[in-house]
């Protein structure tokens, strides 16, 4: 196959992307958050996303909602015509626990049944799972089979090189690496030039939850620290997968405990930030888009951006673009949050009185 020049590949790409929009197709997967999409249209190929929050605020839940449930529902329910493959390195829980979270989400979104993973497992003798819920889950078996086709939950690989190898093998099986010859010290050798996928429209994500739980690696016989291992995974392996294959790394990273310390409270700097990233701040430099999630209720803030937190309590979160190479930094999206069902929904503006009153009335019903 004849190689094409860098100029031709880049030019042809923007022409094709223009034609796709004119043909009614998409060049990104929408977030499912209409106002937020005005600043950030959606998930794009070849972009590295970092999601961060303080402990127990919902960093995994928001990442799952944006990059897993939202995308799969658009494909299955809305007919979004793309191929999707997700490698989900679930370092915090087993793949079975991850599927339980999927069960809870689908039961709520599809049937309005609010039940958390703990109760799905009949953990309490006084709260045994009903046969009705079991029958509903069976009804959605084809839905969950589709999830299993799309998502490969990986809970037995914890080091960066293993993650890189698994995803690279997939890339080589689903495309071609073109090479070019270069001369070094009078010797001609072949190096990788560019990758051509079999399906240019396929979206491949590499989700890691969360990056501080990876196993430290060895290099040249020396044990690397956690900080060094995170740098190797982010700046080497994930950047290669993004740049070479146009894949989409999605890293979940906790904020350092000091981010919620006394000094930060005094300075009113409680929101997630690049400086607050735990264990290694350099990941923020690698990411194309950094997303942060904040809970004002956690800090006893009564009013936040015009929303009455005393009514929402723990059922509100604020999603913010902490940084982006394409602009939009500082954009904030208020979200209704239900942790049991792993569910988020963009809230009306606080000055949209009728709509926001309906939300406050709804909150009263769920808190009875």
Strands 175-184 and 187-197: what pairing?
antiparallel
Tokens 């606080």 belong to residue: 350
Q: Nearest Cα to 343, choosing from 351, 335, 334?
A: 335
State pLDDT tens for residues 268-292. Answer: 778 999 999 999 999 999 999 999 9
Is residue 126 a part of any domain in this protein? yes
Domain range for residue 286? 43-161+202-366
What's the mean per-residue pLDDT of the chain?
Answer: 91
Is residue 189 a part of any domain in this protein? no
Confidence band (pLDDT; 50, 70, 90) for 132?
A: very high
The pLDDT of residue 263 is 67
Is residue 9 a part of any domain in this protein? no
**b/e map 51-86, b = 16+ CB within 10 Å:** bbbbeebbbbbbbbbbbbbbbbbbbeeeebebebbb
Tell me how crowded residue 128 is: count the other CB atoms within 10 A of its CB.
Answer: 10
At residue 14, does pLDDT exceed 60? yes
Is residue 310 a part of any domain in this protein? yes
Is residue 103 a part of any domain in this protein? yes
Distance (Å, rounded) from C-alpha 225 to C-alpha 231? 10
Q: Rounded to two decimals, what is the model's pTM?
A: 0.91
- Cross-strand pairs, 206: 87, 249
Is residue 184 a part of any domain in this protein? no
Is residue 329 a part of any domain in this protein? yes
The total domain count for the chain is 1
State pLDDT tens for residues 113-124. Answer: 999 999 999 998
Which residues, in sequence order, are CB contacts of 125 under 8 Å at separation 6+?
none
Q: Could you tell me where the beta strands, DSSP code E, fall in the chain?
A: 29-30, 42-43, 49-53, 84-90, 151-154, 175-184, 187-197, 203-209, 218-219, 222-223, 248-254, 289-294, 303-304, 307-308, 316-324, 332-338, 343-346
What is the domain-level CATH number for residue 110?
3.40.50.300
Least-confidence region, from 5-14, 153-162, 256-265: 256-265
Q: At what angle do helices 141-150 and 131-139 cross, to 10 degrees?
A: 50
Strands 29-30 and 218-219: what pairing?
unpaired
């Amino acid at each position: 196959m004849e190689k094409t020049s860098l100029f031709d590949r880049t030019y042809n790409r923007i022409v094709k992307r223009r034609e796709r929009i004119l043909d009614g197709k998409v060049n990104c997967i929408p977030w499912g958050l209409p106002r937020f999409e005005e600043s950030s249209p959606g998930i794009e190929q070849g972009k590295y996303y970092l999601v961060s929050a303080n402990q127990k605020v919902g960093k995994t839940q928001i990442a799952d909602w944006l990059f897993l449930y939202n995308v799969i529902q658009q494909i299955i329910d809305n007919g979004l015509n793309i191929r999707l493959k997700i490698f989900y390195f679930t370092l915090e829980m087993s793949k079975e626990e991850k599927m339980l979270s999927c069960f809870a989400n689908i039961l709520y979104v599809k049937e309005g049944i609010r039940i958390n993973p703990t109760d799905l497992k009949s953990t309490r003798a006084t709260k045994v799972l009903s046969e009705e819920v079991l029958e509903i889950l069976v009804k959605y078996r084809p839905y969950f089979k589709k999830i299993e086709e799309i998502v490969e939950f990986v809970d037995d690989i914890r080091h960066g090189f293993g993650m890189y190898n698994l995803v690279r093998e997939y890339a080589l099986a689903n495309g071609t690496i073109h090479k070019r010859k270069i001369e070094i010290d009078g010797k001609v050798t072949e190096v990788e030039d560019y990758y051509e996928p079999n399906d240019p429209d396929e979206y491949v994500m590499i989700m890691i939850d969360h990056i501080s739980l990876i196993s430290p690696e060895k290099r040249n016989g020396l044990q690397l620290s956690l900080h060094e291992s995170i740098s190797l995974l982010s700046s080497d392996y994930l950047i290669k997968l993004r740049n070479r294959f146009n894949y989409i790394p999605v890293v979940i990273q906790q904020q350092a405990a000091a981010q919620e310390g006394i000094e930060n409270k005094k300075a009113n700097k409680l929101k997630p930030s690049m400086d607050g990233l735990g264990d290694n701040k350099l990941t923020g430099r690698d990411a194309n888009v950094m997303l942060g999630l904040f809970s004002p209720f956690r800090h006893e803030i009564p009013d936040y951006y015009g929303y009455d937190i005393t009514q929402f309590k723990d059922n509100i979160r604020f999603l913010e673009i902490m940084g982006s190479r394409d602009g939009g930094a500082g954009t904030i999206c208020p979200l209704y949050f239900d942790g049991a069902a792993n569910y988020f929904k963009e809230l009306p503006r606080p000055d949209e009185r009728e709509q926001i009153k309906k939300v406050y009335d709804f909150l009263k019903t769920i808190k009875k």
